[in-house]
Amino acid sequence: MSELDPRFTRSRRAIADALAELMERTRVCPSVSALADAAGIHRATFYNHFDSVEEAAVYVIADDFRVLHDLNISDRKKGADPATVAVATLNAMLDSLRRRESLFLVASAWRSASGLMGIGDLLLDRLRALRRDLGVEDLEPERHSVEDVYAASGVHGVFSAAISGTTDCDQEEIAARLYALLPDWLRQPRSSIPGPNTS
């Protein structure tokens, strides 16, 4: 079954929805069998989509982050202040993770192909999507690769500390301070996104 097959999309969505619901209700990581039962699929079907429950948890969080990314880009296209939008997006990401704390803890155990733990790989993907959508040129791709991994790992670390309660700042202050530590290209993009009245 390919990713273009509607059955693939439906079963993947069923897994994600069932996992989010189970984690919200029980706050305990379900077994693959329990998750497959809750999603109304066979256990083997689960493995057509994910290697583990931890990877499925990352997928659920990725959905949340993709929505926030799209809002970020949309607000920038409408002419909103980039710094305000970026801080609001970081704040919304942290808020989303706090609401899904048990899911975040499960996702934190996942090791991706890149070697980053938990949502680090997901954050790396979002940074690369921002780089693309902001039109930041890849003049030095090898530098960007290291810088992006560093930024993704740092954001993941701050999110983890904030969720575990080991920071002494409120959520909005965390987002503002985190923004100040992000790479220059993200805080002050060299190019702007075309707005509604530009060609």
Rounded to whole angstroms, how far apart are CA atoms 149 and 121?
8
Query: What pLDDT is recorded for position 131?
Result: 83
Nearest in space to 29 (alpha carbons), one of 99, 109, 96: 109
Tokens at 120, concatenated: 């680090």
Rounded to whole angstroms, how far apart are CA atoms 124 and 153?
8
Provide the CA 37 distance to its chain's centre, in angstroms.
26
Rounded to whole angstroms, how far apart are CA atoms 127 and 15?
26
3-class state of residue 79 by DSSP? coil
Nearest in space to 164 (alpha carbons), one of 104, 82, 121: 104
Across the chain, which has 199 residues, the per-10-residue mean pLDDT values are 75 95 93 96 94 95 94 92 92 93 92 82 89 72 74 90 84 89 75 49
Q: Is 106 in contact with 112 (CB distance < 8 Å)?
A: no
Query: What pLDDT is recorded for position 1?
Result: 55
pTM tops 0.75: yes
Per the listing, tokens 């690769």 go with: 145
